[in-house]
Structure 1
Amino acid sequence: MPGLITNGLAVGKRKRDDAVPNTNGTKPRKAPKTAAKTDNTQTKILLLEEQILESRTHYNNIVELQSLVNNVTQKPKTATLAAVALCRVFCRLIAGEALVKHNNTSEADAQVVQWLKARLRDYVDSLATNWIGSPDASQESTALTLLMRIVKEETSQGSKRSEQAWRTERSTFNMLVEALLEKTEAEGARQEFVEKYVEEHDDIRFYTFSAVRQYLKAHAEDEEIDDNVVGHAIELLSQIEGVPGSAEQLEDWYGEPPAEKKHQLFSLNAHRKVAQEAWLAIFRSPLTRDHRKAILNIATTRILPWFATRIELLTDFLTDSFNEGGSLSLLALSSIFHLMTQRNLDYPDFYTKLYSLLDDDVMHSKHRSRFFRLLDTFMSSTHLPAAMVASFIKRLARLSLQAPPGAIVWVVPWVYNMLKQHPACTFMLHRPYHPAHSIYTQANPKWSDEGMPNDTFSMSESDPSHTGAIDSSLWELQTLESHYHPNVATLAKILSEQFTKRDYQLEDFLDHSYATLVDAELGRVEMKKTPVVEWEIPKRIVTEEGGGLNRLGGLLENAIALS
C-alpha cells in the first residue's frame, strides 16, 4: 500500500500558545465542516490521480475513482471531481499510448492494456448512461465535455487508430451518440452537442451522420427500434444547419486530419452521401404522424440541401406523407413545390393533389391561414391553364357558401386577383347560369316555371382540368352579396364593379375569425348610421290569446311526451 505523502509537513500535534489568550470573550470560529470535508475529498482525489500518473503500480486507483463516479446520486460533487480526474488520467494514458498493444508487447503488458481499455469503457459507459439525460443540466454538460475530451485524444493518435475511434461500434464517440439517441431527457445535451461540436467541426458532423445511420440500421434489422429513438434522431439531425457549399470549406477538424488527400472527409460528395443515408435511415424507420410533421417542417431547409442527387427518394417520402392526409398533405405539397421550382422536379400530379385538398374541412381548419398562403404561392404562376385556374376559383366559390366569414373575406379578394392574372376566366362573371344572377332573372322572369340550365361545373370531378368550371359562372360569389355579415356582403360586391383596383394584399385578409370580426365592429369609435332595431316582446310564448297551446307549445308538448 502506498505511503502517505506529507510534503515535508510536521505530523505531530501543535501545542496551544498560552501567551496569546483569547480576550474578546467569544469562542474561536471554526472552519465549516462541509468545506473542510470537501477539501479533504479533493485532496484525496488529486492524490489518487497523481499516483496513477507516477507509476503503473497504482493503476488500481482507477477503480477507486470509478467507484466515486458511480456514486453520483448520493455525492454529486465528489463524483464530478472524480470524473474530471479520471478524464485527465485517461487522456494522459491515451496520449502516452498506454492503451495500445504493439507487436513487441509482452503478455503481461498486453493484459495491462486490456485491463485499462476495460476501465476506460466502464468510465465512458458510466458517463453516457448515468450522466447524459440527468435532470442536473450542469452535470449533463460536464459529462458531454469530458466524453468529447476523450474523443479528442482517441482521434488524435494516427490515421488508422483515429479512424477506428470514429467508427468502432463501442468507441467513446459512438457510445455518446447512442446515449444522445436513447435518453429521453437529453434535449439539452443534444442541443449542446450540435452547437459546440457538430456545427464547428466537419469531421464530427460527418461521423455523427454515420453513427446515426449505423445505429438505426442495426436496430431496424432487429425490429427493436423505439419511437422515441427515431424522434431523438430527428431532433438531433434537424439542428444541423451548416451545409458545406464546396470542398474548400472542409477544413475544420476536431481530431487529427486525414493524411491522405483522397480521404472521404475531404470529399463534398462523401459528406452529402453520408447525410443522405442518415436521413433515408430515418425515412425507413417506423414514423408516427408527429415524426412526419417534424421532418416536413424542415424538409426544404435542413434536409433538401444534402440531396444533390437521389431526389426521387425524397420525393417518394413526400408522396407517402401526402397520403397520410390532413396537415401533412399540405406540408408535403409545400416541399414538393419547392423541388419543382428549385430542382426542376417533374411532378405532373401536383395540382391534382392540391385540388383534392379543397374541401369543407380546410375552410374551418385551424391551419386555414397557412393553407391559404401556400395556395396563393402555388397558384401565382401566370402560365397555368385557364381551365385549371377556373376549377380552383369555382371550387372555392362553392365552398364559400358554407364557410365562416373569416374564410370568405380571403376567398373574394383572392378570386379578384386570380381573375386579373387570368383574363380568360373573367367570362365566369357574366354567364347567367343561375337565378342568383340578376341578369338571368331579368332575362328569364319565368325561370321558376320553365326551369334553368344546369351548372356545367362538376364538384365530384377530381381532375381540375376536366371539371367544366371554365364554362360555368360564379353565381356563388354574387349570392354572397346578400350575406348576413355586412363586411362579407360589402366585400363580395367588388366582383360586380369594374376591375380598376390593383391586386389586393391578401395578408390583410388572413387570420380573421368570428372573434376578430366582432371585435372590429365593437371597436368602432363612431357609427355612421345608427342600426335600426325592431324587437317586440311577445305577450305569450307557448299559448294563444284565446287559450290553449299554440304551434310552438304543441311541439313542446309532444317533445315532453316522447321523452
Structure 2
Amino acid sequence: MPGLITNGMAVGKRKRDDAAAATNGVKSRKAPKTVGKSDNTQAKILLLEEQILESRTHYNNIVELQSLVNNIDQKPKTATLAAVSLCRVFCRLIASEALVKRNTASEADGQVVQWLKARLRDYVDGLATQWIGSPDPSQESTALTLLMRIVKEETSQGSRRSEQAWRTETSTFYTLVETLLEKTEAEGARQEFVEKYVEEHDDVRSYTFSAVRQYLKSRADEGVDDAVIGHAIELLSQIEGVPDSQDQLADWYGEPPVEKKHQLLSLNAHRKIAQEAWLAIFRSPLTRDHRKAILNIATTRILPWFATRVELLTDFLTDSFNEGGSLSLLALSSIFHLITKKNLDYPEFYTKLYSLLDDDVMHSKHRSRFFRLLDTFMSSTHLPAAMVASFIKRLARLSLQAPPGAIVWVVPWVYNMLKAHPACTFMLHRPYHPAHSVYDKNNPKWRDEGMPNHTFSMSVPDPSHTGAIDSSLWELQTLESHYHPNVATLAKILSEQFTKREYQLEDFLDHSYATLVEAELGKVEMKKTPVVEWEIPKRIVTEEGGDLNRLGGLLEKAIATL
C-alpha cells in the first residue's frame, strides 16, 4: 500500500542521515522521535483493519482484533480501540455484501462467508456478554453504540434481509434485547437504549416489543426467571412515546418500509405487537412486586396501547385485586380509568371498593393515597343515594377506632358528600314527618328513644343494600367528645349549618400523630393550661402500714378468680 511504502522510505531516509552524520563525525542535534506504546498499539490496530479491508487474505486479522476485544479487563483502552475498529470492518463487509452467500458462489467462497458470520457472531456475543452490564458506564455505552451501529447496517440491506435482521434469534438486535433482559446490572444500558433508540425510531420500538414477546414466549415452557420479568417490565415501562396517528410513524433507524401495507406503517399493527408483549408479561409467573410495578404505570404506559382491546386487561386487573392490600387499590384505579375513559362495563366496581373499607386501611401507611382515590371514585353526583350513604356510614363507623390523622379527613369528606347528595342529609337529623309513620307501628317509642340504628349492617357486602340510608350518623356526633381537641372541634361542623360550599380535602391529608403533636406544640399561646398529674404517689396497691388498699383488694380478688 502507498502508506506502507511511504513509511518504509521515511525509515530508510533516517538511516542514511544517521549514517552520514556518523561518517562526518558530527552528532545530530535533533532528538530522535520516540513513539509511545499506546501509539504503537493504535497504529497496529489500524494496520490490521486496513489489511482486512484491502484483501481477503488478511481476514485472519479479525481473530487477532477479537482477542484484543476480549482482553477488556486487562487492557480496556486497547480493547475499546479494537472494538471500534472491528465495528468499522464488519459494517464495511456487511455493506459490500461480503456476508451474503450467493447462489453462484463456489464452495470455498461459501465457507468464507460462513466463517465471517461466525466471527461477527463472536464479536456481538463478546460485546453483549462482557461489556453490557459493566460497572464502567462508558464501556457499557460504547458497547451499546457499536452493537446498534451493526444493527443499522444489517437492517439496511433490502426488505427481506432487513426483516430477518430484526426478527431472527441469531441477529444482533435480538441478541442485544436478550442481553438487556438477562443482565441484572444493565439498568443504565436499558435506559440509554430506550432514550436514544426506542423513543426516537418507530421501527426500533416496534421490534423491541416483538423481541420481548418472542423471548418470553420461547421460554414459557421452561419458566422465566423473576429477575428477567422484572427487567422486561422495567424496559417496556420506560417507553412513553405512544403514536396517536399513522402520520406520526415516520422515523426509521433501519431501511424505511417500501410497501404501503407494511406493518410498520400501520398504527393498529404497532398497538397489536405492544399488546402482545404486555400480555406475554401478564401470562408470566408474576410476583407481588411485579404486579405493583405494572399497576403503577397501567394508566399511563400500558392502557394507551390497548385502545381497542381493553377487555384483555380485565382478568389481569381482577386477579391483582384479589391479591389484596395496596394491589387492590391500584387495580381499582386502573379499572376506574377503563370505566371512565374506555367505557368498560364493570358493575362490581363499587362493591369491590366498598370491601376495601376496613380497619386496616385507616391505619395503613398508604392511607392518604387511598383517600385521594376514594374521593375521585365517589366524585360523581349521579351515584345512588343508598350506595353513597353506605360509604358514609361505614367510614363513620370505622372512625370510632381510627387514629386522629384519619378522622380529620373523614369528617370534611362526609361534609362534602352530604352537600353533593342532599338525600343523605336525613342521616344527620330526622324530625317527625308524616312519612315516618312507618316507624310508629314497629317502633312506638321512637319519638322518645330516637330512630333505630339497627337498619345498617356492616356485614352486607353490597353497598346498595346495607340499610345505611335509614340509619343515622351518631358516630360522628360521638366524635365531638373525642380526646383530641382538633378532632372534637372538626366534628362539630356537621352539627352546624352547612354554609361552606365544600372543603379542600388536600388540606386534611397526610396527617399523623407527629404532625398533630407538632401543630399543638407550635402554638405561641395556650388558651387554657392543660391539667397534669404532677404528684407521683409513693404506693399504688398498698397503704402506709403495708396492707392492701382498695385498688390492691380489687386486684387480689381478680387474681383469685383466675
Q: In structure 2, what is the equivalent of residue 338 of structure 1?
A: 337
After TM superposition, list the pairs within 5 Å mapping 1:358-373 onto structure 2.
358-373=357-372
Amino acid at match of 1:149: R
Q: Distance in 2 between matches of 1:529 and 1:500?
A: 29
Unaligned runs of 5+ in 2: 432-444
Helix, strand or coil at the partner of 2:128: helix
Amino acid at match of 2:372: R
Q: Distance in 2 between matches of 1:510 and 1:487?
A: 14
Q: In structure 2, what is the equivalent of residue 9 of structure 1?
A: 10
| Residues 419 and 501, structure 2, Cα contact 8 Å, conserved in 1 | no
Helix, strand or coil at the partner of 1:461: coil
After TM superposition, list the pairs within 5 Å mapping 1:312-327 onto structure 2.
312-327=311-326
1:207 aligns with 2:231: no
Unaligned runs of 5+ in 1: 23-27, 433-442
Helix, strand or coil at the partner of 1:487: helix
Amino acid at match of 1:161: R
Amino acid at match of 2:350: Y
Range with greater deviation from structure 2 (224-233 or 357-366): 224-233
Q: In structure 1, what is the equivalent of residue 434 of structure 2?
A: none
After TM superposition, list the pairs within 5 Å mapping 1:57-206 onto structure 2.
57-206=57-206
Q: Distance in 2 between matches of 1:312 and 1:162?
A: 35
Amino acid at match of 1:257: P
Q: Distance in 2 between matches of 1:29 and 1:407?
A: 84
1:394 aligns with 2:412: no
| Residues 431 and 472, structure 1, Cα contact 8 Å, conserved in 2 | no
Q: Deviations over 1:300-352 (max 9, x none)?
A: 10001111222111111111100110000000000000000001110000000
Q: Distance in 1 between matches of 2:124 and 2:202?
A: 23
Residue 455 of structure 1 deviates from its aligned partner by 2.1
Q: Distance in 2 between matches of 1:426 and 1:80?
A: 75
Q: In structure 1, what is the equivalent of residue 217 of structure 2?
A: 217
Residue 192 of structure 1 deviates from its aligned partner by 0.2
Range with greater deviation from structure 2 (384-393 or 550-559): 550-559
Amino acid at match of 1:324: E
Task: Name the CA shift for 1:20/1:528 in 2 (closer, same or farther; >3 Å).
Answer: farther
Amino acid at match of 1:481: E
| Residues 385 and 424, structure 2, Cα contact 8 Å, conserved in 1 | yes
Task: Name the CA shift for 1:29/1:416 in 2 (closer, same or farther; >3 Å).
Answer: farther
Helix, strand or coil at the partner of 2:90: helix
| Residues 453 and 471, structure 2, Cα contact 8 Å, conserved in 1 | no
Q: Distance in 2 between matches of 1:21 and 1:47?
A: 32
| Residues 198 and 239, structure 2, Cα contact 8 Å, conserved in 1 | yes
Task: Name the CA shift for 1:467/1:533 in 2 (closer, same or farther; >3 Å).
Answer: same
Residue 501 of structure 1 deviates from its aligned partner by 1.1
Q: In structure 1, what is the equivalent of residue 255 of structure 2?
A: 256
Q: In structure 2, what is the equivalent of residue 440 of structure 1?
A: none
| Residues 156 and 255, structure 1, Cα contact 8 Å, conserved in 2 | yes
Task: Name the CA shift for 1:30/1:405 in 2 (closer, same or farther; >3 Å).
Answer: farther
Q: Distance in 2 between matches of 1:46 and 1:201?
A: 33
Task: Name the CA shift for 1:446/1:271 in 2 (closer, same or farther; >3 Å).
Answer: closer
State the superposition RMSD in angstroms.
2.6
Helix, strand or coil at the partner of 1:465: helix
| Residues 452 and 471, structure 2, Cα contact 8 Å, conserved in 1 | no
Q: Distance in 1 between matches of 2:26 and 2:529?
A: 102
Q: Distance in 1 between matches of 2:301 and 2:448?
A: 63
Range with greater deviation from structure 2 (36-45 or 514-523): 36-45
After TM superposition, list the pairs within 5 Å mapping 1:219-258 onto structure 2.
219-220=219-220, 222-258=221-257
Q: Distance in 1 between matches of 2:511 and 2:163?
A: 58
Q: TM-score, normalised by structure 1?
A: 0.91
Q: In structure 1, what is the equivalent of residue 509 of structure 2?
A: 510
Q: In structure 1, what is the equivalent of residue 493 of structure 2?
A: 494
Residue 21 of structure 1 deviates from its aligned partner by 7.7
Q: Deviations over 1:225-246 (max 9, x none)?
A: 1111110000000000001111
Q: Distance in 1 between matches of 2:46 and 2:543?
A: 100
| Residues 90 and 150, structure 2, Cα contact 8 Å, conserved in 1 | yes
Residue 532 of structure 1 deviates from its aligned partner by 3.9
Residue 78 of structure 1 deviates from its aligned partner by 1.0
Task: Name the CA shift for 1:452/1:338 in 2 (closer, same or farther; >3 Å).
Answer: closer
Task: Name the CA shift for 1:361/1:20 in 2 (closer, same or farther; >3 Å).
Answer: same
Amino acid at match of 1:145: T
| Residues 198 and 205, structure 1, Cα contact 8 Å, conserved in 2 | yes
| Residues 216 and 282, structure 1, Cα contact 8 Å, conserved in 2 | yes
Q: Distance in 1 between matches of 2:375 and 2:452?
A: 32
Q: In structure 1, what is the equivalent of residue 480 of structure 2?
A: 481
| Residues 451 and 471, structure 2, Cα contact 8 Å, conserved in 1 | no
Q: In structure 2, what is the equivalent of residue 302 of structure 1?
A: 301
Helix, strand or coil at the partner of 1:366: coil
Q: Deviations over 1:191-219 (max 9, x none)?
A: 00000000000000010000000000000
Task: Name the CA shift for 1:552/1:53 in 2 (closer, same or farther; >3 Å).
Answer: farther
After TM superposition, list the pairs within 5 Å mapping 1:287-298 onto structure 2.
287-298=286-297
Range with greater deviation from structure 2 (547-556 or 513-522): 547-556
Helix, strand or coil at the partner of 2:472: coil
Q: Deviations over 1:379-428 (max 9, x none)?
A: 00000000000000000000000000000000000000000000000010
| Residues 132 and 140, structure 2, Cα contact 8 Å, conserved in 1 | yes
Q: Distance in 2 between matches of 1:285 and 1:218?
A: 12
Q: Distance in 1 between matches of 2:26 and 2:486?
A: 98
Q: Distance in 2 between matches of 1:108 and 1:539?
A: 106
Q: Deviations over 1:277-300 (max 9, x none)?
A: 000000000100000001000101
Q: Provide the identity percentage.
A: 86
Q: In structure 2, what is the equivalent of residue 25 of structure 1?
A: none
Residue 7 of structure 1 deviates from its aligned partner by 4.3
Q: Distance in 1 between matches of 2:193 and 2:554?
A: 71
Helix, strand or coil at the partner of 2:465: coil
Q: Deviations over 1:252-299 (max 9, x none)?
A: 000011221111110000000000000000000010000000100010
